[in-house]
Structure 1
Amino acid sequence: MRWTERAWPLALLVLGVTGLLASLALNAVVVAPNRLLTGHGYLSIAVPSLCWLPLAWLLVLVTARMRGGAGLVVAISLLAGLLAATGLAAGGLLATAGEHARVQLGAGFWCMATAAVLLVADRLREIQARPYLRLACWAGLALLAVAIAAAGVFDRLSIVQEFTLQRTRFITAVGQHLLLAFAAAAAAVVLGAPLAIAVAQRQGGRGATLAMLNLVQTIPSMALFALLVAPLAWLGVGGTGNAPALVALTAYALLPVVRYTLAGLATAPSAALDAARGMGLQPWQVLARVQLPLGLPVFAAGLRIVLVQSIGLAAVAALVGAGGLGRFVFLGLGQGANDLVMLGTLAIIALALAADGACRALERWMEPHA
C-alpha cells in the first residue's frame, strides 16, 4: 500500500463528497403505504443496516490518494455493501409497516449508487487495468448482485416486487426492444453504408447529404413518430406499431452510419491508395481490399453509436404502439408508479451499456496489432 505525492484526485474527491452528502442529507429509502402514494423517507443514518455509509464514504476520501488495488477494493466493497444493506433495510422497515406497504429506493440511494459505480470505474482507470481485468471486475459485481438477489435480499424492495408482478410482460418487452433497435441499426447500415461510399467516390454530394441527415436529427423524436403515422397509414403499411417506429429509428441512425463510414474510408493512407492503384486495382478493388479493411475499427465505433442511440430512442416507440421497454416507462408515468418507471429505465440503461461494451470489445479486436 503506497501513497502518491500528488494532490488529491479531483474525480475521487467529488465522488466521495457526493456520496457523503447523499448519505447524510438525502433519503436512502422511502416507506410508502402502497405503490402509488407518497411515503416517509429515511436517511441512511436513521436505518440500522445503513448507518455505516457515512463512515464508508469518509474512508473513500481518506484513501483517495492511495495507489494500487487498495482503493479499488474499497470502492467495490462499498458498492456491494450498499446493495446488500439496502435490501436488508427494506425487510426491517416492512416488519412494522402495513400489509400493502412498499419500500422504495430514495434519491440518496441513487446518488450513492451512481457515485459508487463511477468510483469503481475511476479506480480501474487509475490502475490502468487491462480490458480483461475491467471485464472481470464488472462481471464479478454483476454475479455478486445476482447472488444477493437469488438469496432473497432484494425481495422486499418495491422495484423488485414490480418486476415479479410484470415478469412475463417484462421479458417480452425486452425482446421487442432489442429486436426493434437491432432492426433499425441493421436497416441504417444497409442504407447508409452504400450512400456514404457513393458520396465518398463522387465528393460532390457530401455536404448536401450530411445537411439533409442533420436536418432529420433536429426533429424531436416524438414529433417524427407522430408525423409518420398518417403517411404510413395512407400507404397501407400501418399507421401505428412497429412500422413508424422502425422508419423513425432508421432515419435517426443514418447520420452516424454515414459519418463514421466516411471517416473509416478516409483512414486509408494516401500512400496505400496510390500503391493499390499503381498495382492496377480497380476502384471497387481498392475499396474492398484497402479502404474497408483499414476502416473497420472506425466502422465498429459508428455501430456502437448507432446501437446505443437506437436502444435509447426505442423507448419513445411505445407511444405509437411498438411495444418495448418504453411501455413500462409511460405506463408508470400514467399511473404515478415511480418504481415501474425505474424498472423500464434501468433495463434500457443496462441494454445500452451492454451494447456499448460489446461494441468496444469489437473495436479493440479489429484494431491492427503490431
Structure 2
Amino acid sequence: MKNLTIWEQLVEQSQMRWKEVLEATSVHIQLVFFSMLIAIVLGISLGILITRVPKLTTLVLGGAGVMQTIPSLALLGFMIPIFGIGVKTAIAALFLYSLLPIIRNTYAGIKDVDKATTEAAKGMGMTSMQILFKVELPLAIPVIMAGIRTAAVINVGTATLAAFIGAGGLGDFIFLGITRGIDGLILLGAIPAALLAIILETFFSAVERWTTPEGLK
C-alpha cells in the first residue's frame, strides 16, 4: 500500500471489496430510510401539535434541540443501554438527530401562512382539520421539505458512525481504513456516503417542486 497513490488504493480496494460496498450501501440506505421515515411522521406531527398548543412549543423544540446538540457518538452511547448494540440503536439515534429541522420547519411553515387566508377558509365554513390539510400544510410544504432535506443530509453523514456500534453501513470502510492506515479504503466508504447525500438532496428538492402549489413556485 505504501507505494500506491490514494487513487490506486481506491481502485484496488474497489476491485477487492465491491460486493461488500454494495452490501454496506444497502445497510446504510436502510438505516437512513427507516430513521427518516419515523422522523418525518413524528416530526411533522409534533410541528403541527405545537402550532395548536403553543404552551408545548418551548418543550418540544427545546427537547429536539438538546438531542441535536449531543455529540453523535455520545447519543449512540446513550441508546445502547436501551436498545443494545446494533441496528435498533443506530436507527433510534439517527431518528432523534433528524427531528429538529423537521419539527422547526413544520412549525415555522404553518405559522407563516397568511392569517387572512386561514380566516377566509374559516369564513367558508371549513373545520380546523380541513384548514390544516387543505390550506396550511399545502402552503407550508416548501418550508417543511427544506427541513426534511436538511435532516436527510445530516442523517446520511451521521449514519457512518453506526459502524462504531456494529450496525454496519459505509462507516465500516471509513473506520477500517483509519485503523489500517489505508486512505483508499477510507474513500471507499466516504465517496458512496457523499453521493448518497447528494442523491437524497436532489430527490427531496424534486419532491418539493412537485408538491409545492403552483402559485408558490
State the alpha-carbon separation in 2 of the partners of residues 214 and 176 from structure 1.
27
CA distance in 1, matches of 2:131, 2:5: 62
Q: Post-superposition shift, 1:217?
A: 1.2
Code of the residue aligned with 2:206 in structure 1: it is A
One of 136, 140, 158 as aligned partner of 2:9: 158
Q: Which residue of 2 aligns with 1:313?
A: 158
What's the counterpart of residue 134 of structure 2? 289
CA distance in 2, matches of 1:245, 1:160: 30
Superposed, which structure 2 residues align to 1:122-161 within 5 Å?
157-161=8-12
Tell me by how many angstroms 1:180 deviates: 0.4
Partner of 2:208: 363
Q: Tell me how far 1:307 sits from its aligned partner.
A: 1.0
Q: Deviations over 1:28-72 (max 9, x none)?
A: xxxxxxx2x3xxxxxxxxxxxxxxxxxxxxxxxxxxxxxxxxxxx
1:335 is aligned with what amino acid? R
Aligned-pair CA distance for 1:275: 0.6
Question: Does the alignment pair 1:223 with 2:74?
Answer: yes
Instruction: Report if the CA contact (8 A) 1:189-1:257 is conserved.
Output: yes
Which residue number corresponds to residue 18 of structure 1? Answer: none
Q: C-alpha distance in 2, partners of 1:320/1:334? A: 16
**Residue in 1 that maps onto 2:33:** 182
- Whether 1:103 aligns to 2:5 is yes
State the secondary structure of the residue aligned to 1:102: coil
Q: CA deviation at 1:292?
A: 1.0
User: What value does the CA root-mean-square deviation take over the aligned residues?
Assistant: 1.3
Question: Which of the pair has the greater relative contact order for Cα pairs under 8 Å at 6+ separation?
Answer: 2
**In 1, Cα distance between equivalents of 2:185 and 2:89:** 25
The separation in 2 between residues aligned to 1:311 and 1:216, in whole angstroms, is 17
SS in 1 for 2:6: strand
Unaligned residue ranges in structure 1 (runs of 5+): 1-34, 38-100, 106-156, 233-238
Any conservation in 2 of the 1:267–1:291 contact (CA below 8 Å)? no
**Alpha-carbon separation, structure 1, partners of 2:87 and 2:6:** 34
Count of residues in correspondence between the two structures = 215
After the TM superposition, which segments of 4 or more aligned residues of structure 1 sit over 6 Å from their partners? none
1:204 and 2:55 correspond: yes
* Shift of residue 337, structure 1, vs aligned partner: 0.9
SS in 2 for 1:205: helix
- Out of 334, 339, 343, the residue aligned to residue 184 of structure 2 is 339
CA contact (8 A) 2:138 2:212 kept: no
- Asked if 2 retains the 8 angstrom alpha-carbon contact of 1:329 and 1:344, the reply is yes
Shift of 1:290: 0.4
- Residues 62-89 of structure 1 deviation map (CA, whole Å, 9 limit, x = unaligned): xxxxxxxxxxxxxxxxxxxxxxxxxxxx
Does 1:323 find its partner at 2:174?
no
Letter in 2 for 1:319: F
Q: Which is helix-richer, 1 or 2?
A: 2
The letter of the residue matching 1:102 is L
What stretches of structure 2 of length at least 5 have no aligned partner?
none
| CA distances 1:173-204 after superposition (whole Å, capped 9, x unpaired) | 00110110111111101211111111111111
- The AA in structure 2 aligned to 1:209 is V
3-state SS of 1:170 partner: helix
Shift of 1:213: 1.1
In the alignment, structure 1 residue 213 sits paired with structure 2 residue 115: no
Q: What's the % identity of the aligned pairs?
A: 35
* Structure 1 position 261, deviation (Å): 0.8
- The question of whether the paired residues in 2 share the 8 Å contact of 1:267 and 1:294 is answered with no
Alignment-mate amino acid for residue 176 of structure 1: V
The one-letter code of the counterpart of 1:322 is: A
- 8 Å Cα contact 2:173-2:185 kept in structure 1: yes
Q: 2:138–2:213: 8 Å Cα contact kept in structure 1? A: no
Which residue identity does 2:23 align to in structure 1? T
CA shift digits 1:212-261 (9 cap, x unpaired)? 111111111111111211122xxxxxx11101101100001111110111
